[in-house]
Structure 1
């Protein structure tokens, strides 16, 4: 077996997380040929194929997943060496990949970004509003916010961030209870808000849904446009001048929001800073939601 070069393994790690040569090339600021050459060099040194193509994506083979696990340990070690040598970790510098639902990303987190980046100008946040569950254990993202309690995984740490109260909202210009519902696709029936809306639709058989969507942010835009009523978190709907709450001060639904982070990187300053910022954003929203609820009573 030929000697392995850590720098070549870095290309394997990035390609495994992106799944595409073009995306990996952009991240590493090289051309696609360089990515392919470096990965081929690792495969040749190991005598094993690490990737296979499926539906336009490059996915790790079984041995590739094992190699990745060890390569990520080397990556953590290299980062630790850099931290000791430069102290850069104390300055919360570098990139952090954060994934969450589009509604959470656009309506809750993004408004608070200026303060975070002003305090930590060397921090670069990659925000991925991805409808699929981007994998933390496979290091597709560093931090994830999920509306479902995650399955136990020794490589992933999870804690409940908060419970979000939901109410029925409509456009601020139309507060009629007879508005049609903006509902969710049947494929999302496992989600509590989709089930709640499906039950609400059944209770009004003479009023079919005006629109069926697969994303909460799309539902929000539809409601703001006056197309119907739907469920929204208090902290989103009550802070949007284009929306009005139709339900009372008590939530019609509560949803848990979980924060996930890979156990190997939880100690890094840039990760800690982003987690603390997320927690502060939701803590502040909780205060505002409680104040709003008191005014409505």
Structure 2
């Protein structure tokens, strides 16, 4: 085997180890089941050991397979790091730029700034992936992340461009009917338990009785639309709600939510031409939205 074939076999091995079955590994790799079986059998033959036991619950690593797994993961990490370093030398301001962020930014904050960025850099294609969970910048699942977090992981570099304010809102007719009654007396729409780690969820638990929550959803963008439809009061980002004339702010902004908007990349990509161009452009563009993002740009 040559070096390329050796690494390809290791990729097949890692896919089966991660997925626990040949069919799932085949789907991940974009090949058929028999190809995965053949590559695993070839690797086992070349090494003279059995790497997997086929059990009712799936493919399970043998003792030799566990040792091979540790080595394969180290190989993958080394190759990923080398790819990042080499990519970081690319100073050309063209090509594809992969950006990951959450739905509210992708839908309501980024589009006009992306249009202006494309006018300045028409040679760059921007691919945006909406994901609540952070995609791996180390494995090049994305080049840049725009995240709403308190503090990024140490493996990433970037800058804070703004805070993000939240306040309670209601559809205008619902707000008028509610009048001056306490917020805790209203029906509420809220995010579900997948947001339990966020300041939004902490505020809701501390402020609104659980029995007053009439609607829950796992997307802030969907929550905004639910509140606009009159499903209940909701704690919403001011940057979105203050620009919607059919919503009314019904209480003060949450003080010091701790959430910041970060522009992030992997340290080995920060000098790549298109990454640098995007980070510099968006830092300036989003700074111009700071009053809106921090709740000072719309309703009192």
Q: 1:111 to 1:227 in 2, by over 3 A?
A: farther
2:74 matches 1:66: yes
Is the Cα–Cα contact under 8 Å of residues 81 and 138 in structure 2 kept in the other structure? no
Pairing of 1:160-175 with structure 2 (within 5 A)? 160-175=160-175
Q: Distance in 2 between matches of 1:279 and 1:105?
A: 16
Q: How large is the RMSD of aligned CA atoms in angstroms?
A: 4.3
Query: How far apart are residue 22 of structure 1 and its match?
Result: 5.7
Higher-Rg structure is 2
> Structure 1 residue runs of 4+, over 6 Å off?
48-51
Pairing of 1:210-229 with structure 2 (within 5 A)? 210-229=214-233
Is the Cα–Cα contact under 8 Å of residues 136 and 142 in structure 1 kept in the other structure? yes
Q: 1:119 to 1:40 in 2, by over 3 A?
A: farther
Q: Distance in 1 between matches of 2:88 and 2:270?
A: 12
Query: How far apart are residue 72 of structure 1 and its match?
Result: 2.5
Match of 1:29 in 2: none
Q: Given the alignment, which residue of 246, 249, 266 partners 1:245?
A: 249
Is the Cα–Cα contact under 8 Å of residues 109 and 281 in structure 1 kept in the other structure? no
TM-score, with normalisation over the residues of structure 1? 0.72
Match of 2:296 in 1: 293
TM-score, with normalisation over the residues of structure 2? 0.71
Q: Distance in 2 between matches of 1:221 and 1:247?
A: 19
Count of aligned positions: 271
Q: 1:133 to 1:274 in 2, by over 3 A?
A: same
Pairing of 1:175-186 with structure 2 (within 5 A)? 175-176=175-176, 177=178, 179-186=186-193
Pairing of 1:1-297 with structure 2 (within 5 A)? 2-5=1-4, 32=31, 40=39, 61-76=69-84, 78-79=86-87, 83=90, 89-90=91-92, 92-150=93-151, 152-153=153-154, 155-176=155-176, 177=178, 179-202=186-209, 208-248=212-252, 250-252=253-255, 254=257, 255-288=259-292, 293=296
Structure 2: which 5+ residue stretches go unaligned?
16-23, 59-67, 179-184
Query: How far apart are residue 71 of structure 1 and its match?
Result: 1.7
Query: How far apart are residue 107 of structure 1 and its match?
Result: 1.4
Q: 1:151 to 1:117 in 2, by over 3 A?
A: closer
Query: How far apart are residue 193 of structure 1 and its match?
Result: 0.5
Q: Distance in 1 between matches of 2:206 and 2:219?
A: 18
Match of 2:62 in 1: none
Structure 1: which 5+ residue stretches go unaligned?
26-31, 84-88
**Helix, strand or coil for the counterpart of 1:125?**
strand
